[in-house]
Amino acid sequence: MKTFTDKVAAITGAGSGMGRSLALELARRGAHLALSDIDEASAAATAAACRALGVRVTSQRLDVAEREAVFDWARETVSAHGKVNLVFNNAGVSLSVPAATARHDDLVWLMNINFWGVVHGTQAFLPYLAASGEGHIVNTSSLFGIIAMPTQSAYNASKFAVRGFTEALRMELDLAGSPVSCTCVHPGGVATNIVAASRIDDSITALTGVDPQTHRRRANKLIDVTSADAAARQILTGVARNARRVLVGPDARRVDKLARLLGASYQTLVVWFYRRAAMSAKRSRSSAAATDASTPSTN
């Protein structure tokens, strides 16, 4: 898809982060938009900003875990816009918890959004994308769809699943000679609110030596590598050249190279890093406790 002018793009998770940036960048390039988010007000705010750029925009509340609702949205998008050329299955959530203590309800919540939301969006829009004569599916995986990390087993599972689903779909579309193609996106640290909204289980402390608050603070630093606007531009560049995979940000590109170089041995490196970090955290706590014990009481 060499140009986005007068194309119609549907975007999930459009109320903030990469979804919002994708919507605004597509609007600047002349695309019309169907936006959705589980937060209806945030989707409406993005829609208003895009309309100011002179394109047609519809928006609504959508929980991508609800299959029938996603299919209804696809039909409503075509009814409102006459066609649809692109779907960005972008909505996602995060969960930090050791595999052994992960609660079933949390796993279902995460997989329903991160994986099944992608499947629902793909299947709902695919017939309409094909009917447009030029369609593209963009599914958001992650840097953690390339490597796994401790406390991220659920998130890793969902993002590896998105990667496998999308790569198989791309080959099936190629084999069928379809007018639709697809791209799998692997963002590294992109400055969004995913960490702020993530679920972090207290049980990570026993494994990593770090409490949930510290874990969240460190995670926020790690995602502040690439702006959401820069990520959107990189994704659209990949779509324009029909890339099979888009690595977003320098950290994603570095980790991809490391995984290719080390193979499964990267896991040993990660374990070493986590053990070193846990020891450092333990020393810091011991030092703080010693300082408190030696400080004279003023009571």
How many residues does the structure list for the chain? 299
Give the whole-angstrom CA distance, residue 96 versus residue 106.
Answer: 10
Angle formed by the axes of helices 153-176 and 116-132, to 10°?
Answer: 20
CB 83 within 8 A of CB 137: no
Instruction: Tell me if residue 128 is catalytic.
Output: no
Residue 265, CA distances (Å) to 12, 52, 155, 276 in order:
36, 50, 21, 17
CB proximity list for 158: less than 8 A, separation 6 or greater: 110, 111, 114, 115
> How many CB atoms are located within 10 Å of the residue 107 CB?
17
Residue 131, CA distances (Å) to 82, 134, 136, 182 in order:
11, 8, 12, 15
Give the whole-angstrom CA distance, residue 136 versus residue 88.
Answer: 9
Look at residue 287 and give its three-state secondary structure. helix
Strand spans (E) along the chain: 8-11, 32-37, 57-61, 86-89, 95-96, 135-140, 180-187, 199-200, 245-248
Of residues 137, 144, 155, 90, the one with CA closest to residue 244: 137
Catalytic residue chosen out of the listed positions 128, 155, 266, 274: 155
Cβ-in-10-Å burial (0-12, 13-18, 19+) of 79 comes to exposed
Catalytic residues: 155
